[in-house]
Each structure stands twice: as structure tokens, then as C-alpha cells.
Amino acid sequence: MFADIIIDVTSGKLDRIFQYRIPEALQEKVKIGSRVQIPFGKGNHEISGYVVDITDKTDYEPTKIKDIAGILEKDIALEGKMVALAAWMKEHYGGTFVAALKTVMPIKKRENNKEEKSASLAVSREEAVAKLEHLLLYKNQKARVRALAALLDHERLSFKALKDEYQVTPSVLKALADQGLVKIETKRIFRLPQMSGEEGSDEALTSEQQKALDVFLEDYRRGEQKSYLIHGITGSGKTRLYLEMIEEVVKEGSQAIMLIPEIALTYQTVRRFYSRFGERLAIINSRLSLGERFDQMERVKNGEVDVMIGPRSALFTPFEKLGLIVIDEEHESSYKSEQMPRYHAREVAWQIAETEGAALVLGSATPSLEAYHACETGKYTLLKLENRATKGLLPEVRIVDMKEELKEGNRSILSEDLQEQIRERLARKEQTMLFINRRGYAGFVSCRECGFVYKCPHCDVSLAAHKNNRLVCHYCGYETQNQSLCPECGSKYIGGFKAGTQQIEELLKKEYPEARVLRMDRDTTREKGAFEKILKSFGEGEADILIGTQMIVKGHDYPNVTLVGILAADMSLYGNDYRSSERTFQLLTQAAGRAGRGEKKGEVIIQTYTPEHFSIQLAANHDYEEFYQREYAFREMMGYPPAEHLLAILLSSPEEELLERGAKYLKDFTKLLNKENLYGIIGPATPYVAKIKDVYRRVIYIKSEEYQALIHAKDKIEAYTSINRGYNKIYIQFDFDPAQGI
């Protein structure tokens, strides 16, 4: 037998299949997905690789084929079906096969099992009592007395409990075991991340929820595993609906994967899932230790898990019989990987669902243009939830023009209206959330006389002002001292403009000394658990105002929040990015959705310098449909996704001249490829951030209605750059339908 092997190096040049013979001794062990040792090259030095196929034929001269040297059993073998998925990902997103294989492997190494030792009596109670009374006669046998007494009280005790509560050491237990008085047992325990359940409401489904569930179940039970988009306003009960759908699927003997955007959501969502599925739920996220992650996957393989919840990597959970994949908040940018292969969880989930015969459910209050468009083409079925589940009404939204505010002499970051409303909330003992698009004490620092802006010497971005007069680069961490005079012209009118979370916190403390204020941004959530702590304490009413960045807008449900202030709403409109209107609409809608989740009506104030922008206007009117129509028309006119497909080819190198030349030649090559005029070519351009950590960057875009045409171009470019020496020092990445850019 022969094995097709992909060797484990990141070099694009070696990214092809090599054949080896499977020696007699390894016939039983080597499977698709196994990691093996193989002799390689002239010197036959041993390297490792993955088996991607096994055949009994070969195209090579059989005597020239080398033998596999050994199998790496400590490494985890990849599930066979995951190899096929990796091949699909390589084809669709580019990059090496090895990179794709590693992406679909949730756990790479075997971790040591964790064990727990416990002790119980090995003799009858009478014998134990007799022995204990005997031992009491001796002064130096106190520890043994304590041990026997404890085990008479409790049938079984862990070594840890015996040590912590009874001061009995393992050596004492060992001695008792040698005497035949005590039995010691060792049990494998699974490292479970800490979870706790929260009483989920088991009130009857709303009629909208029931209708959506019925559509899904009718298809599912008929054996039609389709794809759905739940477009449900914030608070319409989407999560509740996911729970019901998953429960049905599990009842029928299948398993489900539940994707949530990022760690941010685990606190509330996981608790709801845990109360429903208990020990049959597994969770995976980046905060788990390797051991914990390994154990979660072991439980999956042992068939002990029905539901896996986690961020995009949870997609690669090797379930036996997958019935459903749910993607909550499907519009979130964290579903797109920013490393090769740059896949989108929505597309990969679709592919997995197709091959496994599973259903796919996406949900959002502000669906991506991609998902909503797919409903129009019939790829997904649209399910709508148009009312809040808890009878609450959508909040009233007001837009405040900050230019007017300045004209009337208000120089504060907070408009008169917002200040007034906060004061009212404090008096009524209701809570306020203030959301800002930025972190840090203030944004970039510039000179109002000559226009000088402080920039990072390593990255092409402006520095942000922090406390203690420090200027910090958010890309590489570079820091320098802020000067009181402009280094260019000596003017003293140099300073920061845009406000950040810290500045607002200080302002609030001054304006409302009695208010209890919490702040959530990257600085206050660095420590493990800090995030949950802040949310929990706000949820328990320990603060009146919560200030935060993007982090606070997602999915948290606080009935006592009746006011949401959105500061610098238009910040996300700047930056040259074809998705900026969409992102702004989503942010504003989600943030506004935090208000009035309980009985009391909510109010939202959006502060902006561009009140006329359609994404701001339509978010204030809660009008997704109109927003979608206008934005889609724009994408269509410009030929941007999802109207057409876009491939970004990112080139980076520490040598600028080399990069310049490489980008130019690559553009010429793509032109040559395009004889039939299947696509448009843009660039090479300098991206928004032209340099990161002293590495220069360029980008070329290819646009086409046909995804397949872009895949074809990608394959040719990969071949061209891998044989051409000029590209040795240029790193090339492909990004299909990028999350940002242009």
C-alpha cells in the first residue's frame, strides 16, 4: 500500500503530494489523517507529514518509492473527513495544504490525562472501628486515626479532600493501603471549564418563534436539511429559538455546533445553554488551557457530547452525526479568519452542512449583506422575528448633530440632551450605557497650526494619546512621550481631539460625582475574568453607568438599562473600506438594541457629525430592509461583494523596493492571465496601513462575478510566485471577499 503525504513545512514550494510505501509493520496503524515520520530528500533526513490518502497503485517506479519510517502516535490523528474539508479550504482560500490541515485540527497534541486519587475503607466498618481504637493507644499514629475516622464518616474521599480537610498526607494513605485497611482508586477526570447554569425562561414560545421553529422542523423531519437566516430584531428571542432547534436535533440522535462571535458572549449565552444541556454541552475557546481543550475533544470522540459551543474554530468539531450548525450574530467580523487560509465561518459551515447532511441556521438583528442576499437568491430560507419577545418596545432613537452643539457653545463631548437624560436616569435609579467607537484617552494628536500628526516610526499609523502624556502605537506597542510644543513648528496648539473611554470616565466623575461608573475597554479587561466581572457587577446594579467600546454592544441583556448614548457614531464611517456603512449600521443598531430590554421604555441618543448619512438615519429608524436595498445598490454599482466577488492579493516584505517590483510584475502577470477579460484588476495599491512592524505592504484586487474565475487566478498566481525567485522574500496572502479594504 502507498500513502499520499503532505509534508509539514510551511514552504509553498514543497506543498504537494509525496508518495511513500506503508511498510508491513505499519499497515494497521497508518490511516488517512495520521501523522508520520518520513525520510526526505537526498540526505534522507527524517521529517514529519500528514497522510491525506491511501492507495494501492502508484505512478512512480515502485523501487524508487521510500518507506514510511514511523508513525507519531503521541500526535492526534486527523479525522478523515477533515482532510477532505482541508482540501476544500485550500482550493477556496489559497495557501498551503499544511496550513489548511492545521486549521481544521482543533487540537494538535495529546495532553496528559488528569487523574484523581481517592480512598475508601477496604475492611468492614467494625474492623475499621476496632483498628481505630487500637491506634488511639499510640501517640504517633494520630494521622492514621484521622484518616480512618474520616473514612468512617464518608464513604469515599479524594486525596485532596483528605489533605485539605483532615491533614492526611498521601504517604499515610499509602501506608494504610499497604496494611490492607484502605483501598485507593485512580480515576481519569476530565478538565471541564467552569460553567454554571442560569434558569432559562420556559415560558411558551411567542407565535413568531413557534412559526419559525415549525418551518425548520417540518423540513428537518422530512430529511431536508436546509439553510436558514433568522432575521430577528434585538431581543426578539433568537437565542431561545436556537435552543429549541438544537434540542429537537439532539432528541433525534444528532449533534449540533453553536457558534458565537467571540469570548465576549460566553458569559450569558453559555449559561443558558448549560442550563438546557448540562453535561452534554462542551465548550471551546481561547481561554481554555490545552488540557481543557484536549479533554473537550476526547469527550466528543467518546460520544459524551451533544452540543459544542464556541467561536469559529468550534466548526471543526469531529461529531459522529452532525445535524445542525447555528451561527449567532452571523454578521460579526470575528467569523472571518485573518490568517491563511482566510476563511469565513459562514461559508465553511455551509460546506460542512452540505457534505454532512446537516442543517444550517444563521441569526442576526443586522444580517450581513451576504446572508440577506442569499435569501433573495433562494440559497437560504428567511425566517423573521419582528417583535421583542418580552413585549418591550424598540427604543426611541434621537440623532444629535454635534456641529450644531458646538455652534451653540457646548464644547463638551456630551450633548445637552444626553447630559440631561443621564441626570434623569440617575435620579430614577435606572442604568445608562455609553458606547464609544474607540479606546484610549484620546485619539491621534495633531498640530492645529501646521497639521503635523504624531506617527509610529514602524507602522504607518498615527499614535494615540494615553494617560501620563504617553503616545502609543496600537499596532506594535511603540511608545513615546508627548511634547507640549509641536516638534515641527513649535506651536503650542497641539493636542488630541477625539475622546476615548478614559476621558469620558473622568468627565462623568466630574459632572456627576454621585454616579457609580464602570469602564470596559481593552485596558480594563486585560486580566482573565475581568470581562465577566465588569458585566456581572453592572448586571447586579452595582453601577449606574457603563462606558465601553465595541465590547459592550453585543448581546447583553440588562432590563434596567433605559438609556444608551452613542458617541462619535460616525467614527466607523471613515477609513477607506467598502463595508464601512454596513459596519456603522450594524454597530448603531446593536448598540441601540441594548436599551429598553425590560419593562421600561428605552431611549437612545446618537451623537454624530454626519447626521444625514443614510446608515445613521436608517439605524435610527430601525429600518434594515431599506438599508439593505440602498447598500446593495451601491455594491452592485461598484462591483463589490456580495454583488461580485473580490480577491485581495496582499504582498508584504521588509524590502520596499523589492516589494514594489514584485507587485508590479504580479499585476502584469494577472493581466496576461486575463485574456478573456473575465475580471477587473485594481492596483497595486498601498493599503490603509502601509507598514506594520517595519514590513511594507501592497495590495492588488481582482474583481469578478465568478468566484471560480478568482480561484483560477489564485492557482496561477501561486504557481507563478512559487517558481519565481523574485518572490522568495515576499510573503503573499490571498483574501477572498475581504472583511475590509478598497
Site string for ligand ADP, 94-133 (x = CB under 6 A): ----------------------------------------
What gap in Å lies between CA 341 and CA 734, rounded to an integer?
8
Q: Is 458 in the site for Zn ion (CB under 5 A)?
A: yes
Q: Which residues of 485-517 are buried (b: 16+ CB within 10 A; e: fewer)?
A: ebeeeeeeebebebbbbbbbbebbeeebeebbb
- Kindly tell me which of 234 and 704 has the beta carbon lying closer to ligand ADP: 234
Task: Give the DSSP per-residue string, 74-87.
Answer: TBPPPPHHHHHHHH
Binder of Zn ion out of 175, 205, 426, 450 (CB under 5 A): 450
Binder of ligand ADP out of 460, 506, 557, 718 (CB under 6 A): 557
Q: From the list ligand ADP, Zn ion, none, which binds 560 (C-beta under 5 to 8 Å, kind-based)?
A: none
Q: Is 443 in the site for ligand ADP (CB under 6 A)?
A: no
What gap in Å lies between CA 228 and CA 382, rounded to an integer?
6
- Kindly tell me which of 206 and 562 has the beta carbon lying closer to ligand ADP: 206
Q: Is 275 in the site for ligand ADP (CB under 6 A)?
A: no
Closest distance of CB 204 from ligand ADP, Å: 6
Binder of Zn ion out of 491, 621, 629, 708 (CB under 5 A): 491
Paired strand residues for 695? 692
Cα distances (angstroms) measured from residue 131 to each of 118, 142, 149, 430, 438: 20, 13, 10, 66, 70
The continuous run of DSSP H or E covering 160 comes out as helix 159-166
Return the ∠ at Cα 562 (arms to 557 and 563), rounded to 5°: 110
Q: Is 539 in the site for ligand ADP (CB under 6 A)?
A: no
Closest distance of CB 742 from Zn ion, Å: 23
Q: From the list Zn ion, ligand ADP, none, which binds 475 (C-beta under 5 to 8 Å, kind-based)?
A: Zn ion
Q: Which amino acid is at 542?
A: E
Stretch of residues binding ligand ADP (CB under 6 A), selected from 153-161, 230-238, 417-425, 668-676: 230-238
Stretch of residues binding ligand ADP (CB under 6 A), selected from 3-11, 130-138, 203-211, 461-469: 203-211
Q: From the list Zn ion, ligand ADP, none, which binds 450 (C-beta under 5 to 8 Å, kind-based)?
A: Zn ion
Binder of ligand ADP out of 209, 225, 437, 501 (CB under 6 A): 209
What gap in Å lies between CA 259 and CA 253, rounded to an integer?
20
Stretch of residues binding ligand ADP (CB under 6 A), selected from 43-51, 198-206, 471-479, 649-657: 198-206
Q: Is 234 in the site for ligand ADP (CB under 6 A)?
A: yes
Closest distance of CB 317 from ligand ADP, Å: 22
Binder of ligand ADP out of 131, 231, 238, 554 (CB under 6 A): 238
Stretch of residues binding ligand ADP (CB under 6 A), selected from 16-24, 163-171, 231-239, 305-313: 231-239
Q: Is 85 in the site for Zn ion (CB under 5 A)?
A: no
Closest distance of CB 99 from ligand ADP, Å: 34
Q: Is 444 in the site for Zn ion (CB under 5 A)?
A: no
What gap in Å lies between CA 205 and CA 200, rounded to an integer?
13
Stretch of residues binding Zn ion (CB under 5 A), selected from 8-16, 225-233, 456-464, 512-520: 456-464
Q: Is 249 in the site for Zn ion (CB under 5 A)?
A: no
Q: From the list Zn ion, ligand ADP, none, which binds 239 (C-beta under 5 to 8 Å, kind-based)?
A: ligand ADP
Characterize the bridge pairing of strands 35-40 and 70-71. Answer: antiparallel
Sequence-distant (6+) residues with CB within 8 A of 339 are none
Q: From the list Zn ion, ligand ADP, none, which binds 205 (C-beta under 5 to 8 Å, kind-based)?
A: ligand ADP
Stretch of residues binding Zn ion (CB under 5 A), selected from 110-118, 204-212, 386-394, 445-453: 445-453
Closest distance of CB 557 from ligand ADP, Å: 5
Binder of ligand ADP out of 49, 94, 106, 235 (CB under 6 A): 235
Return the ∠ at Cα 129 (arms to 127 and 132), rounded to 5°: 110
Closest distance of CB 236 from ligand ADP, Å: 4
Number of residues lying near ligand ADP (CB under 6 A): 16
Paired strand residues for 566? 435, 606
What gap in Å lies between CA 96 and CA 93, rounded to an integer?
10
Q: Is 201 in the site for ligand ADP (CB under 6 A)?
A: yes
> Residue length, the chain?
742
Task: Give the DSSP per-residue string, 43-68.
Answer: TTEEEEEEEEEEES--SS-GGGPPBP
Query: DSSP class of residue 263?
Result: G
What gap in Å lies between CA 545 and CA 561, rounded to an integer?
9
Sequence-distant (6+) residues with CB within 8 A of 625 are none
Sequence-distant (6+) residues with CB within 8 A of 702 are 646, 647, 649, 670, 679, 680, 681, 682, 710, 713
Q: Is 136 in the site for Zn ion (CB under 5 A)?
A: no
What gap in Å lies between CA 713 and CA 347, rounded to an integer?
20
Long-range interactions of 553-556: CB distance < 8 A, separation 24+: 553/435, 553/587, 553/590, 553/591, 553/594, 554/261, 554/264, 554/265, 554/329, 554/332, 554/590, 555/264, 555/265, 555/268, 555/269, 555/329, 556/268, 556/594
What gap in Å lies between CA 434 and CA 422, rounded to an integer?
10
Stretch of residues binding ligand ADP (CB under 6 A), selected from 169-177, 228-236, 509-517, 614-622: 228-236
Chain residues that interact with Zn ion, rule: CB under 5 A: 447, 449-450, 452, 456, 458-459, 473, 475-476, 478, 486, 488-489, 491
Chain residues that interact with ligand ADP, rule: CB under 6 A: 201, 203, 205-206, 209, 232, 234-240, 389-390, 557
